Amino acid sequence: MPFLSRSVSWLVVFLGNPGLRYEGTRHNAGFMAADAFSRKHGVSITRLRFRSLTATCVLGESSVLLMKPQTYMNLSGEAVGQAARFYKIPPEHVLVVSDDISLPVGGLRIRTGGSAGGHNGLKNIISVLGTDAFPRIRMGVGAPPHGGYEMVDWVLSAFHDQDAVDIAGAADRAADAVECFIAEGAEKAMNRFSQKKPKAPRE
């Protein structure tokens, strides 16, 4: 549905790193949710604006700018800040979708604010917006095995086997959670989609 360029009332920011070398990695869980959202809603997030690939859509009664920042993870706030200033979007209407190593692979956690939890993308957004009072959907990517990985190597590692199945399911649920959060509110989204582990049991 078309609408005026300055009528956007929400930003949905899917975090990840651009480029083929990062596709399918844990740090790109947010981009996986963006791709799931694109498939579900027939929206192509490809227009380059605000140092991001973007698209616009309507969820419920709200006009939304979808964003995949192309700044690399640690500078995600630069893209978010540009769009938020242009559209005069308050932090509580900046919904961020990111990976979370504190959750098992496939889990989802929805919050209306909070610390960065060591996540550099969220940390940069907090710095640019000047507050941590913005909502986020965090997708579980699992913690590194003890003694097996440095953290940077872990978040840039790819999903395999059951983990790949679980994160694909989480991406679909995160896409649905974005729509629910904006169209129906935070409480309903939390009650419906927050879960510590994937629904499907491992074989």
Q: Which residues are catalytic?
A: 27
Distance CA 171, CA 50 (A): 24
Which helix (H) or strand (E) segment holds residue 170: the answer is helix 161-184
Distance CA 164, CA 144 (A): 16
Classify residue 49 as exposed, middle or buried by CB count within 10 Å of its CB (0-12, 13-18, 19+): middle
Contact (CB, 8 A) for 148 and 17? no
